[in-house]
Chains A and B, each alone.
Chain A
Amino acid sequence: SYVLTQPPSVSVAPGKTARITCGGNNIGSKSVHWYQQKPGQAPVLVIYYDSDRPSGIPERFSGSNSGNTATLTISRVEAGDEADYYCQVWDSSSDQHAVFGGGTQLTVL
């Protein structure tokens, strides 16, 4: 089945830019979605179709996808952005239709 690889952790200072990567074989040919999960809470969709933002998600959150890497970018990071972030693709050709990355813990220094 398809595998998505994320760094376990990313650290960033407040006000700076955080970039969280999601690697996969030719992931640029797939649509990538991103979720934010804060401790004790359910995940929240923050980016879908590589770069679209649901209503209510700040413009500071953006996404890109090309080649073998998709990237979630959080600009002007705030303390409230500290969370786990998961990428996800839909692979209808495999048994595991929805594939999640292992997650990245974002720490705001």
Chain B
Amino acid sequence: EVQLVESGGGLVQPGRSLRLSCTASGFTFGDYAMSWVRQAPGKGLEWVGFIRSKAYGGTTEYAASVKGRFTISRDDSKSIAYLQMNSLKTEDTAVYYCTRGQGGGYFDYWGQGTLVTVSS
């Protein structure tokens, strides 16, 4: 059974940093791209970024709203994807979901999400 479990969320002050983790199980983690998607309270879904599998270079892409502040990485030996968030802003407050990506550009499995609250 495919499982994605996010951790690391919490309350953080504006300008500070936070790192989220996504621990995967039930599939060969290294074979898949992994994406992060967020949802602000009461709002819709917003794609944050993704990391390709090593077979496709392990490179990353980001939404314009987080580019230069957020970094996605992966440790295939541990089946974990990370989202390093720096220079956090109040508008980054959201539930952050880890998702498994498919080649057609869709997300077939989602974690339960972790809440990040940016507030002073």
Q: A43-B110, A95-B63 are in contact. Are A89 and B105 (CB under 8 A)?
A: yes
Interface centre among A44, A86, A100 (most CB of B within 10 A): A100
Q: How far is the CB of A77 from chain B (nearest CB, A)?
A: 22
Q: A86-B45, A90-B106, A100-B44 are in contact. Are A42 and B111 (CB under 8 A)?
A: yes
Give 7 closest A-B pairs by Cβ, nearest first: A90-B105, A98-B47, A33-B106, A42-B110, A100-B45, A103-B44, A48-B106
Q: A95-B64, A98-B105 are in contact. Are A35 and B50 (CB under 8 A)?
A: no
B-to-A contact residues, CB < 8 Å? 35, 37, 44-47, 50, 61, 63-64, 67, 97, 102, 104-113
Chain A residue at minimal CB-CB distance from B102: A48
Q: How many residues of A contact B (CB 8 A)?
A: 26
Q: A100 contacts B46, CB within 8 Å? A: yes
Q: B64 contacts A96, CB within 8 Å? A: yes
Q: How far is the CB of A32 from chain B (nearest CB, A)?
A: 9
Q: Which A residues are CB-close (under 8 A) to B47?
A: 96-100
Interface centre among A97, A98, A99 (most CB of B within 10 A): A98
Q: B104 contacts A49, CB within 8 Å? A: yes
